[in-house]
Copies of this chain bind each other. A is one copy, B any other.
Amino acid sequence: MRDVAIIGVGHTKFGRAKTKKGLELFSEAALQAVDDAGVELKDVEALFQGSALPGFEEGQVMPAAFSAGELGLSPVPATRYEGACASASIAVREAAMWVAAGEFDVVLAGGVERALTMGTLFATRTFSMACHAPTEGPAGLTFPGVFGMAALQYSKNYGVPLEELREKMALVSVKNHRQGALNPLAQFYGKMGDLKVEEVVNSRFVADPLTLLDCCPFSDGAAALVLCSAEEARKYTDEPVFVLGTGQGSGGALSKMAGGDLTKPASRVSSARMAFKRAGLEPSEIDVLELHDCFTIAELIALEGMGFFGWGEAADATADGQTERDGKIPVNASGGLLGRGHPIGATGASQVYWVVKQMRGEAPKGIQIDPVPEYGMTDTLGGDFGTLCHLILGRSKRRK
């Protein structure tokens, strides 16, 4: 297997796309990535695209084929991956595999969604289809509900009084909104940069104990990457970022979840371990982390599931500033889903975009980590722990 590098990245402004369709959003990000890589469109041998619900959003399924057409790439293989909010990450993981296997030399991977344009209520309804339809659908479960329950479990498991937990969760929102306000491509650029804990805690309830400001927004947007074999990467760039290891995991219906504990999903533990093992790295070696903070509690759970903190320790570590940009492990310096926005099927590729920007030292002021990170990681969650995907990146090639 060959080493694989990311040599180009592209990212639309997240927010409301207005009249732009998914095809146009993806093309915008893809052309940026191709331009950034310095490759020609004719060099691109395959397209890997994540997208969660384009059928419901704009009556378009099989979007990867039409993106290839729009970009003039036809008839190269073009595949759509759907793993709910993790759609783009699994597309990137597959792209890395095909390049590693030597089947393709240069490929495009990424994702796109128009989740804001469809309206938050309709989006919440349709995206809840990534819950287990036979048992969770009839119960009326939606993702705010799932993570509300997770917060209650977290409080109970670790004996953290709910009011105290709500304040610590609010610190996640404050941090990620502050970072997002500094990010020109974020949905909330220039907004809520000085959010206060009490504003988060006192905003209106969405799903007890989560308030509106504990929840990420739906967004329209796209992000894309150009990947190639590591040996070719230096032809195109002085700053390749290598894919050191990937992992993926699955979970079934919540009702069958081992232990019934939403705070310790086996799918994430398994996926993260797979990625760390492939990369030959440990959590303590990661310098930049973009993780799936669809809700404030989700950031805490993710940090623990990946092994950055022990079970029940992430809330205190957050309060202690350890996940700040200058902390022990900088988490969601780009703003995360809370501040940057969450165009479902694009989010995984957006996370990779921001890790790459960090590793090139190109992130905006207030977002760039100092010193420039050596190793980075993304964590993307689809549904209620149905799909997990982790990607570990590095400025140097894998060690072993």
Measured CB to CB, the residues of A under 8 A from B are: 1, 21, 23, 47, 52-53, 55-56, 58-62, 64-66, 68-70, 73-84, 90, 94, 97-98, 100-103, 126, 129-130, 132-134, 137, 248-253, 256, 266-267, 269-271, 382-383, 386-388
Contact = CB atoms under 8 A, between A and B. Distances in A.
B133 A60 contact: yes
B62 A248 contact: no
Contacts of A55: 53, 55-56, 126, 129
Contacts of A94: 79, 94
A115 to B, nearest CB: 13
Contact of A65 (B52, B250, B270): B250
Which among A73, A74, A129, A134 has the highest number of chain B CB atoms within 10 Å?
Answer: A74
B84 A81 contact: no
Given A65-B250, A82-B62, A101 B70 contact: no
Contact of A137 (B53, B59, B74, B97): B59
A250 B68 contact: yes
B83 A266 contact: no
A183 to B, nearest CB: 28
Nearest to A60: B133
Given A59-B137, A80-B81, A97-B98, 9 more contacts: A55-B56, A59-B129, A62-B130, A66-B386, A74-B250, A75-B267, A80-B83, A82-B82, A97-B97
Contact of A61 (B47, B53, B252, B267): B53
A69 B129 contact: no
Contacts of A90: 79
A102 B386 contact: no
Given A1-B101, A61-B52, A129-B55, A248 B79 contact: yes
A130 B61 contact: yes
A76 B76 CA distance: 29
25 contacts: A23-B134, A52-B61, A55-B56, A55-B126, A58-B133, A60-B137, A62-B130, A62-B383, A62-B386, A62-B387, A64-B83, A64-B387, A66-B133, A69-B251, A69-B252, A69-B253, A74-B250, A74-B252, A76-B249, A76-B270, A77-B271, A78-B387, A79-B81, A97-B101, A101-B101
A76 B250 contact: yes
Given A55-B55, A80-B82, A250-B47, A74 B387 contact: no
A65 B97 contact: no
A251 B77 CA distance: 9
Nearest to A256: B69
Contact of A62 (B47, B70, B84, B103): B84
Contacts of A69: 132, 250-253, 256, 386
Contacts of A77: 248-250, 271
Which among A21, A60, A266 has the highest number of chain B CB atoms within 10 Å?
Answer: A60
A21 B134 contact: yes
A63 to B, nearest CB: 9
A125 to B, nearest CB: 9
Contacts of A256: 69
Contacts of A84: 61-62
Contact of A249 (B75, B97, B132): B75
A206 to B, nearest CB: 22
A266 B77 CA distance: 12
Nearest to A265: B75
B250 A64 contact: yes
Q: Which 9 A-B pairs have the closest CB atoms?
A: A69-B252, A65-B386, A77-B248, A78-B250, A60-B133, A75-B270, A75-B249, A101-B101, A65-B250
